[in-house]
A and B are shown apart, each in its own frame.
Chain A
């Protein structure tokens, strides 16, 4: 066995053992047929293809082939929500507290959050005009910019938006990273439309109000945004399920973490026994956010495992070669 073949076989571990046993020789043989004989390592594209194929096969074995399209649907909804919030906060940033209040500001803006919001606005534009690699790169930059604002601002002594605002934006962004960037035009127009909607909402709601602080605004806006996101995802799931398309259910599960983080203030209020009252204690807020952040992502693999347990009949033959597992 050549070094290259051994390395391909190592990567083949991404596939389930049964499938590997039935199809491994054939798959590795095809990679070797296509590879330059002087090559010693699989190309990065081949490695990614093998891992992707293995993941798809594991989902297929679990009867969860709709999961990847479902997560991609959730990613588009998450991206649209993130764009709406970025549009909203961009306007809020332009009304810093007056100097006489002594509240620290970031130049002419309320906080360093503006850097992150502008990065999200760039994403919304690129999704529309430059789908593909530029959009993926801009998405990664926007998520990193949001994390950087969260972590670096206190170290630099600069004001930043509260964690209540930044943490859900990071969660929405991480999910948005899986978006299919080659979408039809109406879907690609959603984020930029959401930016405009967010900006308009901020203008209409805050026209005559004091916007210098995120605090009051975020406590009102974020749970509402989370509720709308959840309702839209549920309606889509029901609509798609009526056509025997189950990806909407996976989308709802994938969105649980960002929706939970958007509503963490309400969850923490409920934990404090205040029925969602607006002033939960800080430790309860942190505890609720940690709980959502840890449990939320675990729901998806748990649902896949449950789907496998209830959906698989033992001894199912390989679909291609007919071999019994």
Chain B
């Protein structure tokens, strides 16, 4: 799968990092992880799970029937685990670099104009 991961993909993998989950639980977990910004619908979620399964990042864990409804639980595969870790590290470095630049900018007084002004 191409990296950098798109945000929904990253959050689905992050949701599954804790434990195997079924579709309904993944939707709730992604909404919580994104502070409610991202609300996946089932058609979109299962399409994404198919792509992640094709790419070997997600595996089927088990099936259960609850209240007459079939629930399949999905888990991160070892490849998915490694991909999520690498992507998280990439994002962490970007955040650190941006934070350092912003701190330096806030600490530095604005330099006066030294050239190019009207005499």
Determine if A54 is an interface residue (Cβ-Cβ < 8 Å).
yes
Which residue from chain B places its CB closest to the CB of A31 in the assembled complex? B42
B3 to chain A, nearest CB (A): 14
In the complex, the answer to whether B46 meets A34 with C-beta atoms within 8 Å is: no
Which residue from chain A places its CB closest to the CB of B2 in the assembled complex? A245
Determine if B60 is an interface residue (Cβ-Cβ < 8 Å).
yes
8 Å CB contact of A29 from B41, B44, B70 = B70
Bound Cα distance A235, B7 (Å): 30
Known: A53-B47, A56-B47, A322-B60; 14 extra A-B contacts, CB below 8 A, are A26-B70, A26-B71, A27-B46, A30-B24, A30-B46, A32-B69, A46-B41, A46-B42, A49-B42, A50-B42, A50-B43, A54-B43, A319-B50, A321-B63
Which residue from chain B places its CB closest to the CB of A23 in the assembled complex? B46
Interface size of B in residues (CB-CB distance below 8 Å): 22
Q: CB-CB contacts of B50-73 with A at 8 A, as 1s and 0s?
A: 100110000010010000011110
Determine if A60 is an interface residue (Cβ-Cβ < 8 Å).
yes
Bound Cα distance A319, B54 (Å): 6
Determine if B27 is an interface residue (Cβ-Cβ < 8 Å).
yes
In the complex, the answer to whether A319 meets B69 with C-beta atoms within 8 Å is: no
Most buried by A among B22, B27, B44, B70: B70
Most buried by A among B24, B44, B50, B72: B50
A22 to chain B, nearest CB (A): 10
> Binding site of A, secondary structure by majority: helix, strand, loop or mixed?
helix
Determine if A6 is an interface residue (Cβ-Cβ < 8 Å).
no
Task: Knowing A30-B27, A34-B27 are in contact, say whether A321-B46 is a contact too (CB < 8 A).
Answer: no
In the complex, the answer to whether A34 meets B42 with C-beta atoms within 8 Å is: yes
Q: CB-CB contacts of A293-325 with B at 8 A, as 1s and 0s?
A: 000000000000000000000000001111000
What are the residues of chain B within 8 A of A57 when measuring CB–CB?
Answer: 47, 50
Can you list 16 residue pairs at the A/B interface with Cβ under 8 Å?
A25-B70, A26-B71, A29-B69, A29-B71, A30-B27, A34-B27, A49-B42, A49-B44, A50-B43, A52-B43, A57-B50, A319-B54, A320-B74, A321-B60, A321-B63, A321-B72
Bound Cα distance A45, B43 (Å): 11
Determine if B38 is an interface residue (Cβ-Cβ < 8 Å).
no
In the complex, the answer to whether B47 meets A320 with C-beta atoms within 8 Å is: no
Determine if A33 is an interface residue (Cβ-Cβ < 8 Å).
yes
